[in-house]
Amino acid sequence: MTRQYFGTDGIRGTVGKAPITPDFVLKLAHAVGHVLRRTEARPTVLIGKDTRISGYMLESALESGFNSAGVDVILLGPLPTPGVAYLTRAQRASLGVVISASHNPYADNGIKFFSAKGSKLDDEWELLVEQALEEPANWVESISLGRSKRLDDAAGRYIEFCKSTFANDLTLKGLKIVVDAANGAAYQIAPKVFHELGAEVLSIGCSPDGFNINKDVGATHPEALVKAVLESKADFGIALDGDADRLQFVDKAGRLFNGDEILYLMVDERLGNAQKVKGVVGTLMTNMAVELALKDRGVNMVRAKVGDRYVLEELERKGWILGGEGSGHLLALDKHTTGDGIISALQVLQACVRKQTTPAEILKDVKLFPQILLNLPLKPDMDWQKNVEFKRRNAEITEQLKGQGRLLIRPSGTEPLLRIMVEAKEGIEVKPLAEYLAKAFDI
């Protein structure tokens, strides 16, 4: 059975269009509630959200759906996705629910779930929910209805948790940091975390109005952060996305560091603190330069499919703790069960403070390989895997790049596109190689 509603990160779409409608979301919560009650008599669910205007409507629908199935609800209000994951575990709740479409514009929204352990749920659980959605509604009697209440100090508890991941013997005093919360879930929380650790904090993207989440600010628009850092002569800049599980980092010179580089910085921090790092997990898109730099330091890197859930699955399989994507989703499983932009930023700052240096200095010998990504439209009758000329050119380029770079070909999971990625050391032109391969379909 394939999943009809769940994607790689919950259920997501445009508000007002199926499945992001109040009637479906109520039905979804009702179905999830009955799945929970198969193993627990009186489940408790936490619900957090980002700052989208539609969050109020979907929160009400979820609350009603859970209560109607005999599930108690604790409302957290606006809270980063990793904050919901943390509190689900800390409160010993049965499930955590996040209303967010992450880095998407305000017109979108979504629902994602966390287990009682604060980790993302597997495909098998999602299939159970989809099967329950096909069953008739089973409204419980009034005496068994769930109750709802609000956790008023949810933000404060999460702030303290984030601060606890920063070394007790270090401080951010003397540093000026620009924090960009993308007008999203961390708009109050992120500035407080860095301020309470001693930094002078300047905030941008911290004035949500329900419609401006991710709009020209945040991790998907880091140019706003770069500008603010340079204009204020700040030491660092930190940009999160709408639900604060993604990080972009900027230094005082306005240099932007992507997730691949941040992953290396997190490894360096642990190695510099005499901690052993058995290995790390990247993705198919992780820059080869980072892989080679880690190898030089005795750290193995393996590649998972694109998507933080697949990085997490591979980390758990290997028993490792560090992994991430170039987009800024970073995992440090000794700090948190899921990706957390604030905690990832604290790990980078900890590395810089401990060494009294800058990210650029730590990364001076890590020169990212130039990389290009072409999206080739696939016609309905086009079978790219059987194209003989495409295979020949693929083999030719692969041989040419041996030890000098990589060629990656993968179909999009959401669009009729074939993604062709070529990366290679300086001196090898990657764009002509990608175009040469793509033109195999023109013959």
Which residues participate in catalysis according to the annotation? 102
Sheet of 279-283: strands edge to edge?
A: 300-304, 279-283, 322-324, 330-332
Closest by Cα among 43, 186, 61 to 111: 61
Q: How far apart are CA 126 and CA 112, in angstroms?
A: 10
Beta bridge partners of 11: 111
- What is the enclosing helix (H) or strand (E) of 260? helix 259-272
Cβ pair 439, 396 in contact under 8 A: no
Alpha-carbon torsion (260, 261, 267, 270), positive or negative: negative
In residues, how long is the chain?
443
* DSSP label at residue 115: -
Residue 92 phi, psi dihedral angles, 5° rounding: 55, 40
SS3 assignment, position 152: coil
Residue 325 phi, psi dihedral angles, 5° rounding: -120, 160
Block residue for tokens 């959401």: 414
SS3 assignment, position 239: strand
Residue 132 phi, psi dihedral angles, 5° rounding: -65, -30
The secondary structure of 176-223 as a DSSP string is EEEEE-TTSTTTTHHHHHHHHTT-EEEEES----SS-TTSS-STT-TH
